[in-house]
Amino acid sequence: MKTPISIKRGAVAAIFIDLQEEHRQDQRYLVHGYEKILANVQRLQAAARASGVPLYHWAYIVDLGAQDRPFHPVEADGKSAFSDKDDPLSAICHEVAPADGEALRIKAEASAFRSGPAAGELKARGIEWLVVAGVWTEACIDASVKDAVASGFRVLLVKDACGSGSAAMHQTAILNLANRLYGGAVTDTDGACRLLSGESVTAWQVEGSVPLRFTYENAARLYGEL
């Protein structure tokens, strides 16, 4: 259901996950509507910076020389088939790259919060809400959101600032997350920017367990109603 929400100043951080060039340039890993997603992320970042909200950036990087990945897909030269540490396309897209003073964190797994100090650092800063954007919705966004919720954060999932390989993949992934986004909310970029600036907005919040039962036929409509 949709309910009015607001976020206390000083208790929110903005999280940007895997917004890398390979999703724009590598034909195997293109994200559907990526340019629009990047434009929405730019708006989120500008709103966060204007309101003094801390920004955290992640990139997925594969280093097969240092990581144990027995079934990982590789190229003929033995390098990772995606996100290889030496591939220039693993760089964050320039228009959404960290600004001065904003750290870029490297992760070697889907979730930004499965390991490492990030969750503890955010807790120590008094952060309660995480505004989440990035790619791919059913993979790294899904894993990061679920681990964030398990760590006690409220997640504001910005649906049109996330994406995947197709609209259907993205929409069903958002619906799956919305069904289990306990303590959090789903909104669009407009709503998220207003919340970051201290306004109250009406956003979708889960009530009960798994209220959204979707099919091939109605998934796009339900997604649009979030």
C-alpha to C-alpha distance for 113 and 121, rounded to whole angstroms: 11
Residue 34 CA to residue 15 CA, distance in Å, equals 17
Q: How much of the chain exceeds pLDDT 90, in percent?
A: 84
For position 73, what pLDDT does the model report? 87
The confidence band for 153, taking pLDDT boundaries of 50, 70 and 90, is very high
If one compares 83 and 177, the residue with the highest pLDDT of the two is: 177
Write the secondary structure of 51-105 as one string of H (helix), E (strand) and C (coil).
Answer: CCCCEEEEEECECCCCCCCCCCCECCCCCECCCECCCHHHCECHHHCCCCCCCEE
- SS3 for 113? coil
Whether the predicted pLDDT of 175 surpasses 90 = yes
Confidence at 144, pLDDT banded by 50, 70, 90: very high
Per-residue confidence (pLDDT) for residue 15, from 0 to 100: 98
30 vs 24: CA distance, rounded Å: 5
Which residues are CB-neighbours of 224 under 8 A, at least 6 positions away?
A: none
Query: Which tens digit of pLDDT belongs to each residue from 55-100?
Result: 999 999 998 888 888 898 888 888 888 888 999 999 999 999 999 9
Residue 193 falls in the annotated catalytic set: no
Show the beta-strand stretches assigned E in the chain.
2-5, 12-17, 55-60, 104-107, 129-135, 154-163, 185-187, 201-204
The one catalytic residue in 93, 140, 162, 193 is 140
What is the strand order of the sheet 185-187 is part of? 2-5, 201-204, 185-187, 154-163, 129-135, 12-17, 55-60, 104-107
What's 30's DSSP letter? Answer: P
What Å distances lie between residue 39 and 154, 171, 222, CA to CA?
Answer: 24, 19, 24
* Residue 106 tokens, joined: 């490297």
Lowest mean pLDDT among 47-61, 79-93, 164-178: 79-93
Does residue 226 carry a pLDDT above 90? yes
